[in-house]
Amino acid sequence: MTGLKLDFGAFNFQFNIQLFDHKYRIFAIDGSDFNQIWNPKSENIVGNLNHKGKPYCQIHVNALYDLLNNTYQDCIFQPKSKMDERKAAVQMLKKLNCGPYIVTMDRGYTGFNMIENCNRLPNCYYVIRTKTGYGAFKEVAELPNQECDKDIACWVTTSNYYYETHKATENVHLVNHHYRQYIKYRSKNTKDGSWDFGELCTIKFRACKFRINDPKSGKEEWEVVLTNLNRADYPLKRIKEIYHLRWGIETSFKKLKYALGSVQFHSKQDRFIEMEIYAHMIMFNAVSQIDAQAYVPQKNCKYQYAINFKQSCFVIQAMYIISSSTEIFKKILIQISHYTIPIRPGRKDKRNLKPKSAVYYLYRVA
């Protein structure tokens, strides 16, 4: 892993922090890729120069995002070819210093090591989407195709010997980690699972299964999320609502890349690119917290309205460097309140994923 050391807390204004249910901070962890201009000396090269496929440079950004306060709290950079999102997530959670919090993650983060780390961290509650078909925990795969909420305990070992001698009589899972295995020599291609605990461990969690599409559609689509939240306070319906909030980090990446222009770098060197991403994240936090203080006029129509983030970026960037006086700040708040967009809850749109190349200097944002 590469990266500069930066404390986002020094740049996040600590006022009017919104809490979920007046008790929890609520975060999301996810990653996004940033394309760089080709640099043969970069540590972020993807592909092999000896093969026909053209190599390129890409950095993977792992981010910890506050969903209610719309601010980035931490990030870790990794070369795309060597990324380990679960390891980065554990690192960020261990550094997190706040009261009770809920962290939401997509299914790419599901794993015994991740769940047990979250179970043991103080003040940590999680809602993690998991796989339901191939690659799912067998206890999850066996859940019926109906809404259910079940407590599950998984018996996990890192000992290949114990697994082979007990798998016929016990419901045991094997984590392929290099220690506690009887194999003396391992192939360099052998996948090594992350594991931070002992040889034998019992991992407990709630598995919540619910339907995500309209019953009238005829096709059944189910999702399962894992959590350690109390069932009495957070039944199935509320767990579904909490996981839905995770989408906020996806929209934040879109704003970071295209509203603030963080995909258009001004350097080829890895360290300078990391500095630019940090700078854009800090500016994102500043814009979000200024927007939160602006008055949003509500129109007498179907939807509620919110500040247009892209337009507020233009206004704040233009006036930010003039002065930091109270008068200028008031003018910023008045001006950005003129740019609003409707909030359409439940709106759906198919994700149109297209590969994008790096933006060259001729097209960069000044």
pLDDT category of residue 2 using cuts at 50, 70 and 90: very low
pLDDT > 70? residue 9 = no
Contact by Cβ (8 Å): 7, 83: no
Give which of 154, 156, 174, 176 is closest to 164, Cα–Cα.
174
Contact by Cβ (8 Å): 243, 206: no
- Give the residue-averaged pLDDT of 278-290: 93
- In the chain, the N- to C-terminal Cα span, in Å, equals 29
Q: How far apart are CA 340 and CA 304, in angstroms?
A: 10
Query: pLDDT > 70: what percent of the chain?
Result: 87
pLDDT > 70? residue 15 = no
Please write the tens of the pLDDT for every residue from 158-170: 888 899 999 888 8
- The domain segmentation of the chain, as residue ranges, is 8-150+204-253, 263-363
Please write the tens of the pLDDT for every residue from 329-346: 889 999 999 999 888 877
According to the model, what pLDDT value does residue 276 have? Answer: 94
Residues 6+ away with beta carbon under 8 Å from 327: none
- Give the residue-averaged pLDDT of 230-240: 94
Give the β-pairing of 172-174 and 148-157. parallel
Please write the tens of the pLDDT for every residue from 286-324: 999 999 999 888 878 888 899 999 999 999 988 877 767
According to the model, what pLDDT value does residue 3 have? Answer: 46
Burial 134-146 (b: 16+ CB within 10 A, else e): eebbeebeebeee
Please write the tens of the pLDDT for every residue from 137-190: 999 999 998 899 999 999 999 888 899 999 888 889 998 876 555 555 545 544
pLDDT category of residue 360 using cuts at 50, 70 and 90: confident
Q: Which structure tokens are listed for 324?
A: 């930091």
- Give the residue-averaged pLDDT of 91-101: 93
Q: Which structure tokens are listed for 145?
A: 């195709």
According to the model, what pLDDT value does residue 77 have? Answer: 96
Q: How far apart are CA 220 and CA 260, in angstroms?
A: 39
Q: Which structure tokens are listed for 146?
A: 């109906």
- Give the residue-averaged pLDDT of 95-120: 94
